[in-house]
Amino acid sequence: MASGRGGIPGPSRPCRLPLLFLPALLPLLVLLAFSFSPSSAVAAAASPGAMHNNNWAVLVCTSRFWFNYRHMANTLSLYRTVKRLGIPDERIILMLADDMACNPRNNYPAQVFNNENHQLNLYGDNVEVDYRGYEVTVENFLRVLTGRHESAVPRSKRLLSDEGSHILLYMTGHGGDEFLKFQDNEELQSHDLADAVKQMKEKHRFKELLIMVDTCQAATLFSQLHSPGVLAIGSSMKGENSYSHHLDSDIGVSVVDRFTFYTLAFFEKLNMYSNASLNSLFNSYNPSMLLSTAYYRMDLYERPLNEVPVTNFFGSVMKIIHTDSGYSGFLAAYNDGILLSTEDNILNHAMLQNESSQRRSNIEETEEAQLRSHGLTEVLLEQLDGKNADTIAMYGLGTMGILLAISTWLSM
């Protein structure tokens, strides 16, 4: 006894352990499958009350050629604003139809300015363009919006939004009555855009969408929209042109459009934590300075504009809810984590298992109506028809706990 416990038991012991594991495996599988299904059901539920939890931006410049420098500067100004207020490159799809920064006609290589004072280099050191040059077509634009890509298209070129996303869609270029011109040889029509937005809504690809258009007769482009949750603002109404702001005599072309210039003037005063509302943004446009009427439609949007902060679309600020109890959303991962730890004793196991099983059954009761069917769970449910899956899971957990205790006692 002084030298520790007695000798190691005979060779029959190692053979018994694998046999003991087998009956525990099936309940474990059932437990895992069952715990996955409610959590995935919660995640994939098509509930209208889905919380806003991510922001995306799709910024499109549709004009090619050097004299359309200002459209590129418009898009890059929005890109810079949106990055500064918090949206990362992974959530931004930037489409530029031509290359201005390294264009041979650019006297300032790798630099794009939106003001003749050249204070701000919009191109910076850290720009990522997803679609450029000949890839900016109506087909690719609609594929990005609706999410229907070929299988080889990489993730960085896809709009991977879900039903909790707020999307900012900014388009600039040359446009007219119910169309937007892409690259001088094709056009996007207003009902095409409305159909794409309708598809997006059906596929739950956004919670709220803000469309901002800076072209001539911009308001006609979103006149055909009829999906709920969409807010749209255009730089001019039907019959009006949108004008450029000023000409840079060094670069030789106009460097920014009026609507975008005043939008930026509004945003440069903000930082990530400001709570300026969309209402103040929309009211900051002065028709006499824009030389056109900035028209917005909010009939499809149910929240009042003075309650919506601009960072809901232009930035990325999460609403943080402080709670004292543990987060019950990712219950499956929490359970697995507890099962895999080997240092706890049985009492702790049993207590935690009781709590988690109670929570699980609560969630099951509330989410029962929203359970989606998965092949695996259907098969298992059929097999367990009549029996209470909960008790089987409890038995499985108990067996596992006992096995773990035995193995730790043996290894001491």
Partner 1 sequence: MAPPLSPPALRRLLLLVLSLLITSVAAENVEEFTEELLLRPLPDRKALAHFHFRSSAPPSAAPSRHHHHFPKAIAQLVHQFHIKELELSFTQGRWNYEQWGGYDPMSTNYAKPPGVELWATFDLPLGEIDATWKNLTHTLSGLFCASINFLESSTAFSSPRWGFKLNEGNLRYGALPREAVCTENLTPWLKLLPCRDKAGIASLLYRPSVYKGYYHSQKLKLASSKSFGIILDQTLTVVLQPDSVRGKQLHSADGQLQPSWSMKDLFNRKLSGKCLVSKSSRVFFEIEKNIVDKVDKSGTEASWTNEIFVLSSAPDRVLKEINNMDGHSSSICEYDVSNYNEDAPLDVGVTWKLPLIWSCTPAPYHANRFLMGSGNERGSISLSFISTNMHKQLFDVSNDCSIKAVVFQVVPWYVKGFLHIDEYPPDANQGFDIPSALVTFPEFNSSRSYPETDSLFVSPLLRTFKEDGVVKSYTEVLLVPLTTPDFSMPYNVITFTCTVLALYFGSLLNALRRRTGEEERELKKAGNPTMLICLPVYDAHISCVI
Q: Can you tell me which of 17, 43, 110, 384 binds partner 1, judged by CB under 8 A? A: 110
Give the single-character DSSP code of 409: H
**Nearest alpha carbon to residue 61 among 182, 155, 159:** 182
CB of 195 vs partner 1, minimal distance in Å: 21
**Nearest alpha carbon to residue 267 among 235, 322, 315, 221:** 315
CB of 106 vs partner 1, minimal distance in Å: 9
Helix ranges (H only) for 203-345 are: 258-267, 278-283, 287-290, 311-314, 331-340
Q: Can you tell me which of 35, 55, 114, 183 binds partner 1, judged by CB under 8 A? A: 183
Residues from 112 through 131 that contact partner 1 (CB under 8 A): 123-130
Sheet holding 186-189, edge to edge: 175-176, 179-182, 186-189
R_g (Cα) of the chain, nearest Å: 29
Q: Can you tell me which of 67, 134, 273, 330 binds partner 1, judged by CB under 8 A? A: 134
Sign of CA dihedral 216, 135, 93, 128: negative
Q: Can you tell me which of 32, 45, 99, 176 binds partner 1, judged by CB under 8 A? A: 99
Q: Can you tell me which of 133, 228, 304, 326 binds partner 1, judged by CB under 8 A? A: 133
Q: Can you tell me which of 6, 12, 22, 155 binds partner 1, judged by CB under 8 A? A: 155
Residue 127 or residue 376: which is nearer to partner 1 going by CB?
127
Query: Which helix (H) or strand (E) is 256 found in, with range?
Result: strand 254-257
Question: 61, 71, 166, 216: which is the annotated catalytic residue?
Answer: 216
Binding of partner 1 by 84 (CB under 8 A): no
How many Å apart are CA 265 and CA 259, to the nearest integer?
Answer: 10
Residue 90 or residue 355: which is nearer to partner 1 going by CB?
90
Binding of partner 1 by 102 (CB under 8 A): yes
Question: 52, 149, 174, 204: which is the annotated catalytic residue?
Answer: 174
Write the secondary structure of 321-346 as one string of H (helix), E (strand) and C (coil).
CCCCCCCCCCHHHHHHHHHHCCCCCH
Q: Which residues pair with 165 in a beta bridge?
A: 54
How many Å apart are CA 266 and CA 276, to the nearest integer?
Answer: 10
Q: How many residues bind partner 1 (CB under 8 A)?
A: 32
CB of 108 vs partner 1, minimal distance in Å: 7
Binding of partner 1 by 156 (CB under 8 A): yes
Q: Can you tell me which of 25, 44, 153, 379 binds partner 1, judged by CB under 8 A? A: 153
Distances (CA, A) of 201 to 147, 219, 291, 330: 12, 21, 34, 26
Active site residue 174: yes
Q: Which stretch binds partner 1 (CB under 8 A): 99-107, 228-236, 297-305, 334-342?
A: 99-107
Residue 105 or residue 246: which is nearer to partner 1 going by CB?
105
Residue 95 or residue 256: which is nearer to partner 1 going by CB?
95
Binding of partner 1 by 68 (CB under 8 A): no
How many Å apart are CA 178 and CA 238, to the nearest integer?
Answer: 9
Q: Give the max Cα distance, the chain.
A: 100
Q: Can you tell me which of 152, 340, 369, 412 binds partner 1, judged by CB under 8 A? A: 152
Binding of partner 1 by 157 (CB under 8 A): yes
User: HSE (CB half, 13 Å, CA atoms) of 316?
Assistant: 20
Residue 312 and residue 166 in contact, taking contact as beta carbons nearer than 8 Å? yes
Residue 51 or residue 153: which is nearer to partner 1 going by CB?
153
Active site residue 246: no
Residue 49 or residue 154: which is nearer to partner 1 going by CB?
154
Q: Can you tell me which of 116, 184, 344, 390 binds partner 1, judged by CB under 8 A? A: 184
How many Å apart are CA 247 and CA 255, to the nearest integer?
Answer: 6
Catalog residues that contact partner 1 under the rule CB under 8 A: 64-65, 99, 101-103, 108-111, 123-130, 132-135, 152-157, 183-186
Which residues have a catalytic role annotated? 174, 216
